[in-house]
Chains A and B, each alone.
Chain A
């Protein structure tokens, strides 16, 4: 695309750069850490009720485990979202273009900024879908691994070993998987 007026190019460049930037906004960060904390804290219920572990006695272990898991889970969310966003942006381009074109069809004045609007909307949709899917996917995987590790693999192990290894391996594994750039 040939560069035109200075301000438009800068805005487009901005949007393009935003697509490649791995840093998340404060709102996104809060969303990720909030979700990660909730999902990391829920397995403690299972340990208390099903494994009948005394929570008061192992409080420190549970707190540390939850915090470490929260951080790793949020890390996984960010990475997964970043990878997904690119793929989704390509996928949704046609649909978003159609939507914006239809919206601005009547108004000839804004049609000049159409490309910018399409890019912005595509970015937003990709961001939204990538974020929600990343959270869903990582949560499911995390909970599945914790349940499998805690009740099948490590059933009968001491509370410390059971909790430490289940939570550690689940969050570690999904953090590791999220760093993969392939699909």
Chain B
């Protein structure tokens, strides 16, 4: 997480020199999960920062890293547009995906295209921070570690009840009977 946050500050690549008066967008892509588990949601946050002097217009962010055969899109869009982002402002978008498989996965950078100033026909391109390689844990292993297995323990309790309950009940009934006889005054 820290690594990814630091990467936010080390920018992506820019195609044109930033002139005075041009917008400059920084795009950060962060994975907001502690554990990446097969079949469980992964929250991806895209943050756009305009550190230039002018407003960026016609902004298009696209992330082609989440292929349909590997991930199911639960919420949000992997390609979204923004009309304008003023100088010194920021915005963010969240996308939720669900991995279909477990294993190592390389989270690649997303791309941003925008115009440096209003009305400009020159398109500037940038790449987001790269979250890098992550491990998507198999659902089975995650469950083994974190599930409470409540039903399994309940079934175990039911199974052991006769082995413990019946001998105890038999012993107790005999004991109380003879202790009562011993205490009874003739």
Q: Which of A5-13, A64-72, A124-132, A166-174 contacts B (4 or more CB under 8 A)?
A: A124-132
> Given A42-B159, A46-B156, A50-B153 in contact, is the A132-B178 Cβ separation under 8 Å?
no
User: Is there contact, CB below 8 Å, between A98 and B167?
Assistant: no
Q: Which of B30-38, B41-49, B87-95, B168-176 contacts A (4 or more CB under 8 A)?
A: B168-176
Which of chain A's residues have a CB closer than 8 A to the CB of B174?
125, 128-129, 132
* Cα–Cα distance between A96 and B155 once the two chains are bound (Å): 41
Q: Which of B58-100 contact A (CB under 8 A)?
A: none
* Cα–Cα distance between A139 and B121 once the two chains are bound (Å): 83
Interface residues on B, range: 20 to 34
User: Is there contact, CB below 8 Å, between A99 and B149?
Assistant: no
User: Is there contact, CB below 8 Å, between B182 and A98?
Assistant: yes
User: Is there contact, CB below 8 Å, between A133 and B140?
Assistant: no
User: Is there contact, CB below 8 Å, between A35 and B163?
Assistant: yes
User: Is there contact, CB below 8 Å, between B182 and A39?
Assistant: no
CB distance from B58 to the nearest CB of A (A): 53
Q: Which of A15-73 contact B (CB under 8 A)?
A: 35, 38-39, 42, 45-46, 49-52
User: Is there contact, CB below 8 Å, between B182 and A139?
Assistant: no
> Given A50-B149, A95-B182 in contact, is the A42-B144 Cβ separation under 8 Å?
no
User: Which residues of A are interface residues toward B (Cβ below 8 A)?
Assistant: 35, 38-39, 42, 45-46, 49-52, 92, 94-96, 98-99, 125, 128-129, 132-133, 135-136, 139-140, 143
